[in-house]
Structure 1
Amino acid sequence: MKKTNAMRLLDSKKYKYKTAEYPVDENDLSAVSAAAKTGEDIRRIFKTLVLLGDKSGYLVACIPGERELDLKTLAKTSKNKKVEMIPMKDLEKITGYIRGGCSPLGMKKKYPTYIDESAMKFSSILISGGRRGVQIELEPEKLAEVLDAEVTSISFI
């Protein structure tokens, strides 16, 4: 498998991780689809969301695939009055990644990142590997460490 920026970043830190590849359906790039195709528990597959805060600028949230982001809580936690999802057309320009392949690791710039606290219930979680159809499995503590992320409650069912 060709290394992505996300994998190269983990390699540079000498962090252990596994990768999983699965077939991509361009019409369904959801975490639910990734869970079904990899046979993984949807609660362990974390989607990467990129937002814009009215005070902080861009920020990143990682939440379980079946959950919704709590925008008000994230705004408060990130010291913004409000946060909103960025337009999809801006994703690649801001992160270097395309929809369905956006990893919190190895973005063009390091943005403030927030990981839902439910990640810590698991010995490992899966995040996008930086390309459609690729997941990276690693310890949630290592992900938080490499991203200098805040682990907090930011999602709901």
Structure 2
Amino acid sequence: MAKEVKTNAMRILDKNKVAYEMILYECDEFIDGLHTLEKTGAPAAQSFKTLVAQGKSGEYYVFVIPVAQEVQLKLAARAVGEKSVEMIHVKDINKITGYVRGGCSPLGMKKQYKTVIQKNALDFDEIYVSGGRLGATIKLSPKDLSRVTGAVFEDLTGQNG
């Protein structure tokens, strides 16, 4: 098998000397985060998806929430100091982040946007996030993810945290 190609997310973690585990799985097309859990065996409670929204100001924001939950836009807006935020269109993900749907990592986007992680991530020593491409998941400490992305922890879902 060919040498594994590093994603931007992995390069950033390596550069910042952050310990992480890469989990690779077969994935021809992205279905949803719950389908990814079945492939990786990652616990649902520790698995987080990366969402990108745009505020009324025009700024983009990254929200990292448990894969089985939905972001509450009012809570998300409050967390970033906006009057309101709305999710970006799927067709704009690559243009804004440099990633494809299902492979969008909070690490290594084209620009470092203000990032907020659902605060219950702190309940775990390690969480799982996208590795920056389809078929790749990264397991790492939520505190390390916060440190590298400059993220804060807030309640984004109104559930467990």
TM-score by length of 2: 0.93
Deviating beyond 6 angstroms after TM superposition, the runs of 4 or more aligned structure 1 residues are none
Please name the residue that 2:144 is paired with.
142
Distance 1:68 1:12 in 2: 32
Please name the residue that 2:48 is paired with.
46
The amino acid across from 2:21 in the alignment is K
Report the number of matched residues: 156
Cα 1:27–1:74 shift into 2, 3 Å: closer
Please name the residue that 2:125 is paired with.
123
Please name the residue that 1:154 is paired with.
156
Q: Is the 8 A contact 1:68 1:156 kept in 2?
A: no
Q: Is the 8 A contact 1:55 1:79 kept in 2?
A: no
Q: Is the 8 A contact 1:4 1:129 kept in 2?
A: yes
CA deviation after TM superposition for structure 1 residue 26, in Å: 1.7
Distance 2:144 2:81 in 1: 25
Instruction: Indicate which of 34, 37, 51 corresponds to 2:36.
Output: 34
> Percent of aligned pairs with the same residue?
45
Distance 2:94 2:84 in 1: 23
Q: Is the 8 A contact 2:50 2:129 kept in 1?
A: yes
Q: Is the 8 A contact 2:30 2:101 kept in 1?
A: no
Distance 2:36 2:158 in 1: 20
CA deviation after TM superposition for structure 1 residue 79, in Å: 1.1
Unmatched 5+ stretches in structure 1: none
TM-score by length of 1: 0.96
Q: RMSD between aligned alpha carbons?
A: 1.1
CA deviation after TM superposition for structure 1 residue 153, in Å: 0.7
Distance 1:147 1:32 in 2: 24
Q: Is the 8 A contact 2:23 2:137 kept in 1?
A: yes
Q: What is the CA deviation profile of residues 32-79 of structure 1, one whole-angstrom value per residue up to 9, with x for unaligned ones?
A: 111111111111111000000012610000000011101001111211
